[in-house]
Amino acid sequence: MDSLILLMLLLLPLAAGVAIPLLPPPLARPAALAMAGAQLAMGLLIALGGKDLSTFVILQSWLPQLGLALDLGLDGVSLPLLLLASALTAMAVLATPVNQERPRFYFSLLLATNLGLVGAFLARNALLFLLAYELILIPTTLLVASFGGAKRAGAAVRFLTYGAASGLTLLAAVLAFVWLQPHDGSGPWTLSFAYGDLAQHALSPGNQRWVMAMLLLAFGLKLPIVPLHGWQPATYSQAPTPVAMLLSGGVSKLGAYGLLRFGLELLPDTWALFSPWIAAVGAISAIYGALNAIAQLDMRRLVAYSSLGHMGMLVLALAAATPLSLQGVVAQMLAHGLIIALLFCVVGMIEAKTGTSAIDELSGLLNPQRGLPFTSALLLLGLMAAAGVPGLAGFVAELLVFEGSWTAFPIPTLVCLVASGLTAVYAVRLFNRVGFGRLNNARADWKSTTWSERLPAMVLSGAVLIAGIWPQALTGLSESTTAALAINTAPSAIAASPLNS
């Protein structure tokens, strides 16, 4: 039964993705929404069911010669990410304009992205993970190239190039993992890419370092982190809003998840060795993202650089690898996923209504008669959440990250704290320019947003609010798993409460 549910999580997007091109165009959107909703519902059932997650497992041999097996499972880290992926897919479907052109093509690509995400998070086999990781590149590139903004061609090419490089490097790393293992020459190669088997690898320290370096490169291209971020601002600003939400909120988490799974879990000693550098890169990323965001004149690029900055903090927490900081990693992945999706959603709404995302051209959107007061209010919420204002999800995540990383890497943590302060700078600047001031009457020729247009932003805002005042939402599922993954021992999770399982 449980394995059936697990399979359904994958089959739903697959079936829907295949079925949608066969449906009449008006049905594409409801079908996609239904699929995402069903997937989310199932994920919630699993999460709130309270059952031991080890019962949700599928092991089906597929291509034993290659070592590829349908090896699916859930644990404390992948389950929340699964929920995030389905939630963001649902929000992306809702955020798609009703008059989307070529809806069947669009929604099937969206669902293919979902399939890739869910497959990657559910995979317990490195090749399966790799398959999903590579597979996701195609629909996302197509989405950007077909439906994106004016400069989508260049952005898509860049995205594809960096993504392909990431995929190839990961391929090399995964293969090296197995092939570089000492083989005593007796008997045929038994290839197994299952996580469990990989965890018992016998790589030499030198080889471990090579593999780690490749993993860092591959996932660093995906997250992204400085200096591998060349594709990100262009892609996020040219992608259509729902795609940007999914990319920044979901797909970028693949990088973090990969580092957690492959780097930290499978190569802990090497991770400990590399971690000072990783922490430094994280801190640099955070400052770089924040400073660039302050300088931006376009709202979408500003949000893109904001995302870069927050990913940097995530990387710092990963590097620190204390139980608390790893909780922070999961919390940051979830919180950032929700917040950045909210920000892109709202910025997209503003752009759709006003026709521009240039900060210089916008002002006075809070005007109650002719502005976009509701949307601007949600923008404020999103910006505050990104800045880490208590009461919202961003604060919970950042608190865990900073408190968890402080003992391991004080200087990078301090730098990230400064970066966090800088987020308030660009948040305030953006809102001051765009929300306050006098609305330009000559440009204010739009209808107000309808409730159906506001729905995804409202749901995301609600989630951000709830997570802010009920932090268990972000960390509850993952506490035990992250504690097990930690390298450094202190600080550990905050005092165990009867609610912890």
Partner 1 sequence: MTATIAGVRPPLIPPSTHPYAEVIHRLEAGGSMLPDTPENLQQIIGIYKAYAVPMDFYWRDLLYIAERVFLNPLPAFKYFISQEYLDRPNSYAGENAALRIWRGGEKAHPELLEFMAKGETRAMPKLLHHLWHDRVNMEFAEACMQAMFWHQGMGGRFNDYIAGDTYRANADRAIKAYFKGNLVMLGLYKLFPEMFLEQVRQLSYTANLGLFWEVMAPVFFEMSDLYDEGQLTSVPQAMDFLVNGIFAVAGRPIYHHVFIGGECFEIIPKSEGFTWLYEAALPYVEAVFYRTSPFRGTKSYNSQAQQVPAHQADFHYGILYADVYPVGSAGIPPTLLMQDMVHFLPPYLQELYKQHRRGEEDQLVQLGITFQRSMYNVTSAVIQALRCAVLYPLNDPDPEHLKANRHFFEAQMDRFLRPEARLADIQTQDYR
Interface positions with partner 1 (CB under 8 A)? 364, 367-370, 438-439, 441-442, 444-445, 447-448
- CA dihedral (165, 166, 169, 174) positive or negative: negative
Chain position carrying tokens 């939400």: 245
Locus of tokens 């240039």: 358
- Which lies closer to partner 1 via its Cβ, residue 188 or residue 438? 438
In the complex, minimum distance from the CB of residue 233 to partner 1, in angstroms, rounded to a whole number: 34
Bridge partners of residue 58, in order along the sequence: 72
Distance between CA 366 and CA 374 in Å, rounded? 8
For residue 257, give both structure tokens: 């998840």
Whichever of 367 and 413 has its CB closer to partner 1, that residue is 367
Q: Which residue lies nearer to partner 1 by CB, 104 or 353?
A: 353
Q: Residue 450 CB, nearest distance to partner 1 (Å)?
A: 12
Q: Give min distance, CB of 480 to partner 1, in A.
A: 52
Q: What are the Cα distances from residue 87, in Å, to 36, 73, 91, 200, 432?
A: 7, 19, 6, 34, 31
Give helix then strand counts, H and E, for the chain: 21, 2
E strand segments, 256-357: none
* Spatial separation of the C-alpha atoms in residues 368 and 365, rounded to whole Å: 8
Is the CB of 97 or the CB of 373 nearer to partner 1?
373
Q: What does DSSP assign to residue 377?
A: H
Residue number, 101 or 445, with CB nearest to partner 1: 445
Cβ within 8 Å of residue 326, ≥6 positions away: 260, 317, 318, 404, 482, 483, 485, 486
Rounded Cα distance, 433 and 446, in Å: 19
Output the CA angle 305-409-389, nearest 5 degrees.
Answer: 45
Instruction: Find how far residue 202's CA is from the centre of its chain.
Output: 31
Nearest CB to partner 1, comparing residues 451 and 499: 451
C-beta closer to partner 1: residue 55 or 448: 448
Closest to partner 1 by CB, 62 vs 446, is 446
Residue 11 DSSP SS3 = helix
Residue 372 contacts residue 439 (beta carbons within 8 Å): no
CA 403 to chain centre: 22
Is 210 or 446 the residue whose CB approaches partner 1 more closely?
446
**Non-local CB neighbours of 140 within 8 Å, separated by 6+ positions:** 109, 113, 159, 163, 243, 246, 247, 251
